[in-house]
Amino acid sequence: MKKQEIENIIHGMLHVARPLEVARIRHLLSDGSLEDIVIELRKYQNPDGGFGHGLEPDFWNPASSATQSWFACHIIRDHGIDPFHPMVVALLDYLKETFDDHIMRWHAIDQDNINYPHAPWWEKEGSLVSFNPSASLAGFIVKYGHPMDAMYKKARKVIDEALSFILEREEPVEPHELRCLIDMMNDIALDYRTHQHYKRAKNKMILLIDEALEKDEELWFTSYVTKPSQLIKHHPSLGSEVFHDLLLKEIDLAINHLNAEYLWPITWHWMGAYPDAFEIANQHWQGIIAYGYVKLIKDLGIPFED
């Protein structure tokens, strides 16, 4: 991979990315501090400890929600932010207060979404038994929370249910739900390494990932399909060794699909809703996607050539 290609991607990203993604890419390239990321991420955190304000750019409701908080969890994991940081402690408190004991899940979105710019699929909550985003949030609590906390024990119950779901599943898993299960499996890898179901579930997850991946590579950058990097976000992680060659192939294809601004156009739209807001969301997503590819390239140790 040419060093100039990476420089072009970063240059293109700086024209559209939010300050948050700019801070993340600077930190990734050893040109910025972790505190810069925290400062930008906290701008999306509410007094209740949860996150909102369009952190996940497809809905702009300022109120906290489990899905927006899931997005924050991903950033906290990615950069190894201290579990005792006040931002993380407040987030854990929010997750504790908003867990619904009746369904043993978090509700994915706030019902007030309809009053703010949003993609159509974020207008109503989906299945209450889905593990999206609850599996990922439960894994986050086990990784970052305190074992003596009551919420930690509830999170383990969600995880045990999720492991059983994985082992018993005979049909493909919806890709967004699968992504949350992958997050969970990565988070619990150390604590659950001797768990009776963990190793079997880990093997089953490889099969579920393979089922979910779009096999027609020609569609990866033209349609809303499941590419390897949509499930496997970093290396090493669950599936990154098994699907290593596919990740490399995706990166090769990705470089060939850069647009004139050295970015990747998103492959979805809001179906005509809120066109002005969508254009802003589109730019924010391009910054997020660009960061993700540069991070994956670095994780995989792909050498740069002059």
Name the residue range of residue 304's domain. Answer: 1-32+222-306
On whether both 128 and 203 belong to a single domain, the answer is yes
Question: 262 phi and psi, to 5 degrees?
Answer: 60, 40
Residue 82 lies in a domain: yes
Residue 217 lies in a domain: no
Residue 37 lies in a domain: no
pLDDT at 110: 85
Of 212, 234, 259, the residue that ends a domain is 212
Mean pLDDT in the chain? 96
Q: Tokens for 239?
A: 């599936």
Distance, in Å, from the CA atom of 113 to the CA atom of 37, rounded to the nearest integer, reads 26
Q: Tokens for 143?
A: 């990784």
| Among the listed residues 134, 75, 67, the one whose alpha carbon sits nearest the alpha carbon of residue 100 | 134
Residue 154 lies in a domain: yes
Distance, in Å, from the CA atom of 267 to the CA atom of 265, rounded to the nearest integer, reads 6
Instruction: Write the burial class of residue 211 (CB in 10 Å: 0-12 exposed, 13-18 middle, 19+ buried).
Output: middle
Count of domains for the chain: 2
On whether both 75 and 197 belong to a single domain, the answer is yes
On whether both 204 and 297 belong to a single domain, the answer is no
Beta bridge partners of 295: none
On whether both 13 and 60 belong to a single domain, the answer is no
Of 212, 241, 259, the residue that ends a domain is 212
**208-226: average pLDDT:** 97
Q: What's the distance, CA 187 to chain centroid?
A: 13
Percent of the chain with pLDDT over 70: 100
Contact 251, 296 (CB under 8 A): yes
On whether both 199 and 115 belong to a single domain, the answer is yes
| pLDDT for residue 134 is more than 90 | yes
Containing H/E element for 207?
A: helix 198-212
Of 212, 234, 264, the residue that ends a domain is 212
Q: Which residue in the block uniquely carries the two structure tokens 């990166």?
A: 251
pLDDT at 9: 97
Distance, in Å, from the CA atom of 237 to the CA atom of 186, rounded to the nearest integer, reads 6
pLDDT at 306: 72
- The beta strands (E) that lie in the chain are given as none
Which tens digit of pLDDT belongs to each residue from 12-33? 999 999 999 999 999 999 889 9
Residue 137 lies in a domain: yes
Residue 38 lies in a domain: no
Residue 39 lies in a domain: no
Residue 155 lies in a domain: yes
